[in-house]
Amino acid sequence: MAEPQFTRVPFWRDVRVLTILTQVIFVVVVALVAAFLYANVSTAMRQRGLVNDFSFLSLEAGFEIGEALIPYTATDTYGQALWAGFSNTLLVSVVGIILSTIIGVVVGVARLSSNWIVSRLAAIYIELIRNTPLLVQLFFIYFGVFLTLPSVGQTLEFPGFIYANQRGVFLPRPVPTSTSETWAWFVVVAIILALALGYLSTRPQARRLGWVAALVLILLPAFGWLIAGEPLAFEIPVRERFNFKGGMNLSPEFSALLAGLVLYTAGFIAEVVRAGILAVRRGQIEAAYSLGLNGGQVLRMIIFPQALRVIVPPLTSQYLNLAKNSSLAIAIGFPDLFSIATTSANQTGQPVPVYLLVMATYLAMSLFTSLLMNIYNRSVQVLEK
């Protein structure tokens, strides 16, 4: 018997070597192209007197911002101004995500309702919202809805010191007092207890604990309120010459942006939810009904847990879309990050570092959101069908 000939494969035909070599060469070439592009941009910017550092962040901004979550005045720096804008973007994005999810789920389920009117209405809403541009919707909501509210002279009054006019909605603002801290401890303890009881109530034979958890959540803070005296004072809005002063103000810009973003994204989320629900096998639903469960129970216990696997990834995209679409705020006067960045880029005369910073911020925000959503996604995925 002859020994099988063991010839070595020459390295230029050896698959292992070639794959690695190709990757190395590819990376080198990409790096060269990137370096060349960077050098090109640097030269061009230097030619035009554009500076490529971030020193402007410590210069005085000089412009006022209409509303921000963090305190800001015109004598603060550009860095502070950008933080104020970022706080506004975060506020709109977070509140927008929560509201649009609620509305989107409701509309998505309604779209599949056996009630003909309900499903038609949902369909009309979805098709209308998805097929018109967001900017147009924002302009309509801002100029056509919020600015047509009665003027300050004819403010609408609501019980509880709530006022509504075209300059916004004015609510009493809670102000912490000396006893707020004691009350805060009661609230924290109540939340922890309620969560613990809620977790325990998922065990069999312990469903009553869920009600106990709810009671704890309501009664303990109320008890704490009585003990602490007056933990919160309320600052009520007062009508002055031009506007209302004091209290919380929901400006029409914020409300219009929020409403526009929520309605727009809810339309898309509704379709995502509908896709998820339709992806659950019909056998599951038939079996559930044959077991005697009613519609609500089937939806809650059988359909949704399985639909979530299909819903969560596209839902993440919609959340990211909402966060990025919030940059349209500049068109209706809401001072979000992009609006402040445009002003800063103009006033400093250095658009490149400013817009790089803005892109990095949106990227960080989006990556963080998708990180959280992916963690949640992993928890709803099953390892096997």
Partner 1 sequence: MKNLVLVSVLVLVALIVVACTSAPAPSAPQVVKETVIVQATAAPAVATKPAAPPAATAAPAPVALGARFAAVKARGKVVCGSNDQVPGFGFLDKATGQFTGFDVDYCKALAVAVFGDAKAIEFRPVNAAQRGPALQTGEIDVLARNTTWTVTRDATWGLFAGVNFYDGQGMMVDAKKNPTVKTLKDLKDASVCVQTGTTTELNLSDRFREEAVAFKPVVFDTADATFAAYEGGRCDAVTTDISGLVARRSLLKSPADHKILEVVMSKEPLGPAVPLGDAQWYNVAKWTLFALINAEELGVTSKNVDEMLQSKNPDVQRLLGVTGDLHKGLGLEKDWVVKVIKAVGNYGEIYDRHLGPSTPLKLDRGINKLWNKGGILYAPPFR
Residue list 106-165, contact with partner 1 (CB under 8 A): 143, 147-148, 151, 153
Cβ at position 68, least distance to partner 1 in Å: 12
Minimum separation from the CB atom of position 59 to partner 1 (A): 11
| Choice from 120, 130, 207, 245 touching partner 1 (CB under 8 A) | 245
Q: CB of 171 within 8 A of CB of 248?
A: yes
Nearer to partner 1, 33 or 94 (CB): 33
Task: Figure out which of the listed residues 57, 65, 303, 322 binds partner 1, where binding follows CB under 8 A.
Answer: 65
Cross-strand partners of 173: 235
Name the minimum Å distance from CB 158 to partner 1: 21
For Cα atoms 163, 169, 173, give the angle at the middle one, nearest 5 degrees: 85
Residue 103 CA to residue 122 CA, distance in Å, equals 11
Please tell me whether residue 22 binds partner 1 under the rule CB under 8 A. Answer: yes
Q: What is the per-residue DSSP string for 9-39?
A: PPTTT-HHHHHHHHHHHHHHHHHHHHHHHHH
Q: Is 282 in the site for partner 1 (CB under 8 A)?
A: no
Q: How far is the CB of 29 from partner 1 (least distance, A)?
A: 5
Question: If binding means CB under 8 A, how many residues of this protein chain bind partner 1?
Answer: 55
C-alpha atoms less than 13 angstroms from C-alpha of 31 in its C-beta half-sphere: 6
Per-residue exposure over 337-371, b if at least 16 CB sit within 10 Å of its own CB, e if not: bbbbbbbbbebbebeebbeebbeebbeebbeebbe
- At its nearest, how many Å lie between partner 1 and the CB of residue 214? 42
Between CA 144 and CA 140 the distance in angstroms is 5
Site for partner 1 in 314-373 (CB under 8 A): 330-333, 335, 339, 342-343, 345-351
Tell me if 58 contacts partner 1 by CB under 8 A.
Answer: no
Residue of 20, 25, 218, 367 interacting with partner 1 (CB under 8 A): 25
Tokens read off for 98: 């929560």
Contact 261, 195 (CB under 8 A): no
Q: What are residue 373's DSSP bridge partners?
A: none
Q: Could you tell me which stretch among 62-70, 156-164, 185-193, 209-217 binds partner 1 (CB under 8 A)? A: 62-70
For the window 160-199, what string marks contact with partner 1 as x by the rule CB under 8 A?
------xx--------------------------------
As to burial, measured by CB atoms within 10 angstroms (0-12 exposed, 13-18 middle, 19+ buried), residue 124 is exposed
Task: Describe the strand order of the beta sheet including 156-158 as a list of residue ranges.
Answer: 156-158, 162-165, 168-171, 248-250
Q: Which residues bind partner 1 (CB under 8 A)?
A: 15, 18-19, 22, 25-26, 29-30, 32-33, 36, 39-40, 43-44, 47-50, 62-66, 74-75, 143, 147-148, 151, 153, 166-167, 240-243, 245, 252-253, 330-333, 335, 339, 342-343, 345-351
